[in-house]
Structure 1
């Protein structure tokens, strides 16, 4: 008989993170489902996302209980006020589902790639499938309704070009700041700009409704950082005569009644920051113009400092659950003595 395979550290971390995020999504979509929707096409998608979050939590809970692994507290009904006034209009939830499809796909792919147990691999394969299907559905719906802002277009090349060695060594054409952006660089700049537009809107709404003054100040700072990063990315596009996308700020309403706990709002923003750090790193590595990696390094430092401020708030309020960690061998040895 095949011996029972224990969870690896990678699987523990991936499952723990997924449980925490999905417990947050369950609350987030619970609120979305209680709103009176003007667009009848959006609630079924929010319901589908809610159901997926519940199913994901159930699967992880079963795996953890089979290993006598403590199930995280995560977020509960105490972290959401489903009767709160609307903070965003219908288009926000559709846009958020679409953006989350982009953000979560590489994370689930990474979790799947680092899993070895079949039940864990099967679980993350399902998460991947559910995620990209949601992205496809929301993309089609936004296209149909004229809500999707497509990435910029550029002229199709007339022929294949290769870098000329003498040109490269002599004038650094490829790495010259003045050269027009290439398609790969445009793609990363546009994607990161789009993510900051979402962060700008989320921080704005959360800042209106947070109960703690420290959390309100934190959200206001996040909104300002997102605005600065939006301008930085937009300016880079405009240097190559490429128009930046419109904002979604109109989707934020004027309610000050909190639909979510400060704990949940801090966790969601922290998750967006983590994803932004990863995206900035990928973009810096894929950019050939020497001004772009420097730009991403500077922006990464700004949001890393911002993330540290957020972590201090969460720790001070005992909102931050600790992920599974390795045994402290030195401490065990000292206790033995």
Structure 2
């Protein structure tokens, strides 16, 4: 093989199939939301950034399609134009598109890095490497714009340590019983970003709850909003105890519209994504926290979100909204067939 020749003559493995399939569904969803934002945007500064974000998602979708077609692999259905009603009034103010692009690219950087580490076919690895680059670049641009508009809440500052120290006592882990030590930098960072992510979820759920008509589905969305609000309250109270004042939202980004621009399928697919992200990142926060009160609360939150996630899954399956990921061959069924 020549030095610059890509290794594409080997079949895709399960990690490459799973990674590409998952990103296809996610980018298909992003295209629908970004198309909606572009249709209603009035802010001439936000428009170009949103346009670039949309073009990136469209480009990724096209590249995955090309890989699947070459492999004679079924191209997923994903989400279509009829999942968005562009004639419905705006559900979110212009500024929310920045919140959306910020959060999706922040989560994409995490997801793409993990997915890339599981891939060995060079053309697929190159694709995910490019995704990491473009998401990182877009993240930087949207943070810069949010700062210029005064809507980005920086993580808390802390005093620099005067010297290097080593843990001396088991009390470093205490939190439920006895005197709590101050939060360390890693714990504080996780708390801040968990608050930020849940504020985003509250805005999304509030918008969805306003427009969804089915009573059962509406109540489920409101339940998800309440879960995020409970997390925000706990983490803000924790920061207040540390004299860090907590983190507050800077403004309301949801309009008073009650006409849905999104299909119920698209709404619940986004909720599925938010559930998955919440479980994953809360689990990560728990793994790096070294205070028992934090790990206990994280365990409680994970259990609550997993229950909500299971109920969400039941709804999307019942409604036949969930596209099935590729399955391995059922060998037992083949062996037992006549």
Q: TM-score range by the shorter chain?
A: over 0.9
Where 2:252 maps in the other structure, the secondary structure is helix
8 Å CA contact retained: 1:201, 1:249: no
8 Å CA contact retained: 2:175, 2:294: no
**Cα separation, partners in 2 of 1:201 and 1:160, compared to 1, 3 Å:** same
* Deviation per residue, 1:239-273 (Å, 9 max, x gap): 11112222256111110111110000101111011
> Partners in 1 of 2:335 and 2:185 — Cα distance?
56
| Deviation at residue 17 of structure 1 after TM alignment | 0.5
Where 1:254 maps in the other structure, the secondary structure is coil
> Partners in 2 of 1:181 and 1:268 — Cα distance?
33
| Deviation at residue 105 of structure 1 after TM alignment | 0.6
Structure 1 residue aligned with 2:327: 325
Task: Tell whether 2:311 aligns with 1:309.
Answer: yes
> Partners in 2 of 1:249 and 1:277 — Cα distance?
27
Instruction: Give the root-mean-square deviation of aligned CA atoms.
Output: 1.4
Where 1:72 maps in the other structure, the secondary structure is coil
Structure 1 residue aligned with 2:28: 23
Note the residue ranges of structure 2 that are not aligned, 5 or more in a row.
2-6
| Deviation at residue 201 of structure 1 after TM alignment | 0.7
Where 1:244 maps in the other structure, the secondary structure is coil
**Cα separation, partners in 2 of 1:254 and 1:52, compared to 1, 3 Å:** same
Q: Which moved more, 1:137-146 or 1:210-219?
A: 210-219
Note the residue ranges of structure 1 that are not aligned, 5 or more in a row.
none
**Cα separation, partners in 2 of 1:276 and 1:187, compared to 1, 3 Å:** same
8 Å CA contact retained: 2:68, 2:74: yes
Where 2:312 maps in the other structure, the secondary structure is helix
Structure 1 residue aligned with 2:275: 273
* Partner residue of 1:244 out of 238, 246, 253: 246
| Deviation at residue 46 of structure 1 after TM alignment | 0.9
> Partners in 2 of 1:175 and 1:146 — Cα distance?
38
* Partner residue of 2:100 out of 96, 99, 112: 96
| Deviation at residue 26 of structure 1 after TM alignment | 0.6
8 Å CA contact retained: 2:172, 2:291: no
Task: Tell whether 2:157 aligns with 1:153.
Answer: yes
1:84-163 counterparts in 2 under 5 A? 84-163=88-167
| Deviation at residue 3 of structure 1 after TM alignment | 8.2
> Partners in 1 of 2:8 and 2:47 — Cα distance?
45
8 Å CA contact retained: 2:8, 2:122: no
**Cα separation, partners in 2 of 1:74 and 1:3, compared to 1, 3 Å:** closer
> Partners in 2 of 1:15 and 1:36 — Cα distance?
30
* Partner residue of 2:76 out of 72, 78, 88: 72
Moved runs in structure 1, 4+ residues, more than 3 A?
none
8 Å CA contact retained: 1:31, 1:82: yes
TM-score, length-normalised on structure 2? 0.95
Q: Which moved more, 1:11-20 or 1:249-258?
A: 249-258
**Cα separation, partners in 2 of 1:59 and 1:242, compared to 1, 3 Å:** same
8 Å CA contact retained: 2:151, 2:250: no
* Deviation per residue, 1:115-174 (Å, 9 max, x gap): 11111111111111110111000111111221110011112212222222xxx14xx144
| Deviation at residue 175 of structure 1 after TM alignment | 2.9
Count of aligned pairs: 330
> Partners in 2 of 1:14 and 1:173 — Cα distance?
39
